[in-house]
Amino acid sequence: MKQQEFLKMEEEERVSFINQLLVDTNASKLADISKEVGMSPSSFSKKMSEGAYMYSRSMKQYVPKGKSNNSVSTEEVINFIKENFQDLKGLIERGKNIEEDVLVLSPEVIVKGDNIVKNIRIPKYVNDQFAKLCEDKFSYLKLQDIQAQALWDFVKRFK
């Protein structure tokens, strides 16, 4: 296609054409598509970003601005809730029962800044059990943060 033909297209037609090219050519870069329409990558990018569309890398397509692949209509959300109501209700009930298994770090523990490094001597069995428990139940937290929280809980309890 010639550059002049591409520039004369209406925006929707241009976006549709480019999206189809992206599918047909399975292009990995927009620079490849810009060559197809006879434009430099920067001119192509500028022209495509002028309108109401933007390039979604995850979808590898031009989509209306403000829309992402994660956008879901209200109707879709309501239908999902209706279809899965009992399962969602069960999850909430289970969540109420496991609150004691949730470890919340105190602000004093997660403050960045004045940290020190300490070596401590503890029995291997105690360390192994502690590390296993941390990995099994709190794998989303750093071991050093859990240790700091344990020390902070000790301070608050016996102060």
Tokens of 95: 């969540």
CA 32, CA 34: separation in Å to the nearest integer? 5
pTM metric for this prediction: 0.42
Three-state secondary structure call for residue 40 = coil
Polymer length of the chain: 159
Question: What is the rounded average pLDDT of the residues 112-130?
Answer: 89
Would you place residue 123 in the very low, low, confident or very high pLDDT band (cuts 50, 70, 90)?
very high
Distance between CA 72 and CA 32 in Å, rounded? 31
DSSP for residue 119: -
Average pLDDT for residues 107-121, to the nearest whole number?
85
Statement: residue 28 has pLDDT above 90: no
* pLDDT for res 109: 85
Model confidence over 34-52: pLDDT tens digits? 888 888 888 888 888 888 8
What's the whole-number mean pLDDT along residues 72-76?
A: 75
